[in-house]
Structure 1
């Protein structure tokens, strides 16, 4: 898994128990039993992108680069994903790769020249299969887009299957490049709500880059600044924030170069304002669309969960407890804020291999559930028919 922060690759080796059978007729969803988490993350690695590879990914996300450069990046990312997966793939039956999103246009926008929904995740699956010797499921989002959805979020199906518990109204909140939530009302799949709330680390990363850093380590930059209220108000007026779910965005929307700001604003103040924007938009999203349904707790995940300034701002915004994976004992099973999304796509790949539906269409706006992901078989063994 590599997300919108584009900082590197999380790989997780997920072991699943004997899974409950699908409902009658084979076309439904599995019946959930027992406490969360269902499964265990046996191993996890993080492989940072090289500076050149990260720069190429960010250029592609900003709609820069020729078709030839995108093609080279597609294969370079395939090699990078394969290298990240290889140490864990020795013990795996299947590799699932989300790929690196470089463009995501879930709705037509005439002003931008987007005449149809489209999405692009790079990282050639055939390279991963060739290097690991395992079958690969990749490129999950297009199937949902083709069914009328916005292609995201897809993790909620895995959140529901792995982490929902009867009697607990829980939200899982990911602070990656973009901020998104999954609301799990007990184990009822029909009640799951999930959507992007706005930016998380992507704007902070942009500010950090201006300071010659790759990220705001420990929230130091934001912690040294003061929120600029006029800039915050201008950012909060972005029309994406008032759009009701289902909705999904990315760096093509939330990039510092597209947002108004005074040229004189210091980098610490800019970082503090970016943190305030994330906290305010998260709080607004819960108040508008989640709290009326009943909410017991929010569990934070993603790289932003390790940013003290961002976590403190969220605690001040949320009217329910903000918990960590360690608070719930999930780390004893290998589930952490760092492994959650990689484990989720491992599960989505497993579900695809079983032929199950692995999306919740009401969370993406699709007309029906799909079995998302494209299958690339393992390389033929010597002597096998070609």
Structure 2
């Protein structure tokens, strides 16, 4: 029987929950043919059979963003934890009957990968909200959740975790490929071939988060179609000031979040109009991505960049990124043909956490210490089980 795992993902854009039902024919591998299943057609080594996106109601998104910006007390955080658990259970409901297992990333509201006394962070810490017991109770399925703490306990940054799934699903012999996610935060996975020990991955800086903040000032949820940025001009002095941010000089492994990348922490002229601010934020995001590749990936050899995430639907951001990365080719999941198997900019991360949950069910280590900086790999994810485990996962 083919294992089927439902991945639930709410990212730093905090716009809602992606539920992706990942089918894994050929998994787990058998015989002596290596770790990967012997599937015809190469990559991807799986298929997203169904996908449902459940948007957050405005009041829930507002509460999540407030928690990300340290604007919630313990009572509000407690309420939000259960509120998100209910939302995750509701998002899972349409596809849960077809799944053997549910893997929930939860909603990151704070991620402090390193101590930072300037901000009052005396130790590494992370917090993902979304009560898993509600998901298990309402779906009747085994659930794996809260993936990041195990890696941090082993000395890692707790991020990025998606690269393990990228390697398992998309690595290809003889192809040096980067998979780039333009979510709220921008991050990349560099797959130089099939060797997992050579995988490199890290957060490059802001993805959509600054663009979303500018759009919110204009009364919009996001810069739809990149139209706000297209109407403005880049403010070169502001761009230069932002590019001097010390976070951008930190070498990998590294992880970041909205705690760092918010307009409130970045200098800008008070009279900078919203279109110009949007254009500047778009140019800045593209430059930070391109500079990260130039410094830490291109020297190892790179054939192509495949982009996913909400930013892949922003023409202004993609145009800026293509220009900044040139002559490297930048392609979407659709352009490389992976959308035929259900992998799109909307499903990639939810499917990745589905695979991490599957690996946890197998008892495999599902982290890459080289990408997180941990002392060793761990089998990340906390279990909440019903009375028995499905045969497809046992």
Following TM superposition, the consecutive aligned residue runs of length 4 or more in structure 1 with deviations greater than 6 angstroms are none
Q: 1:192 aligns with which of 190, 199, 215?
A: 199
Match of 1:128 in 2: 135
1:223-268 CA-to-partner distances (Å, cap 9, x unmatched) read: 1010001111111111110000000111101011111111100000
Q: Is the 8 A contact 1:192 1:363 kept in 2?
A: yes
Pick from 324, 327, 332: which aligns with 2:332? 324
The question of whether the paired residues in 1 share the 8 Å contact of 2:26 and 2:37 is answered with no
Secondary structure, in 3 states, of the residue corresponding to 2:128?
strand
Runs of 5+ unmatched residues, structure 1:
381-386
Q: Which residue does the alignment assign to 1:30? A: 35
Match of 1:384 in 2: none
Structure 2 match to 1:172: 179
Out of 12, 17, 32, the position equivalent to 1:9 is 17
Quote the residue 1:377 is aligned against. Answer: 385
Distance in 2 between the 1:292 and 1:131 partners? 49
Determine if contact 2:310/2:345 at 8 Å carries over to the other structure: yes
How does the TM-score come out when normalised to structure 1? 0.95
> 2:266 — aligned with what?
259
Q: What CA distance in whole angstroms lies between the structure 2 residues aligned with 1:37 and 1:76?
A: 35
TM-score (norm 2): 0.94
Contact 2:26 2:38 in 1 (8 A): no
Q: Deviations over 1:209-235 (max 9, x none)?
A: 100111000000001010001111111
CA distance in 2, matches of 1:3, 1:367: 26
Q: Is 1:274 aligned with 2:256? A: no
Equivalent pair of 1:359/1:370 in contact (CA under 8 Å): yes
Describe the superposition over 1:36-62 as per-residue Cα deviations: whole angstroms up to 9, x where unpaired. 100110000111000000000000000
RMSD between aligned alpha carbons? 1.5
Contact 2:30/2:37 (<8 A) preserved: no
Residue 21 of structure 1 deviates from its aligned partner by: 3.7
Give the aligned length: 377
**Structure 2 unmatched ranges of 5 or more:** 1-8, 389-394
Q: How many Å separate the matches in 2 of 1:13 and 1:39?
A: 10
Query: Does the 8 Å contact 2:68/2:109 carry over to 1?
Result: yes
Shift of 1:295: 0.4
Q: 1:23 to 1:271 in 2, by over 3 A?
A: farther
- Counterpart of 1:351 in structure 2 is 359
1:186 is displaced (CA, Å) by 1.1
**Aligned-pair distance for 1:174?**
0.3
- Residue 22 of structure 1 deviates from its aligned partner by 8.2
Give how far 1:19 is off: 1.9
- Matched residue of 2:94: which SS? helix
1:364 partnered with 2:369: no
Q: Secondary structure at the match of 1:273?
A: helix
CA distance in 2: counterparts of 1:161 and 1:310, whole angstroms: 29
**Alignment of structure 1 residues 102-251 onto 2, 5 Å:** 102-251=109-258
What is the CA-CA distance between 1:30 and the residue it aligns to? 2.5
SS of residue matched to 2:11: coil
- 1:31 deviates by 3.9
Q: CA deviation at 1:314?
A: 0.6
Residues 337-366 of structure 1 deviation map (CA, whole Å, 9 limit, x = unaligned): 110000000000000011000000110000
Distance 1:144 1:367 in 2: 9
In 2, distance between residues paired with 1:6 and 1:239?
26
Structure 1 residue 32, shift from structure 2 partner: 6.0
8 Å contact 2:110–2:126 — kept in the other structure? yes
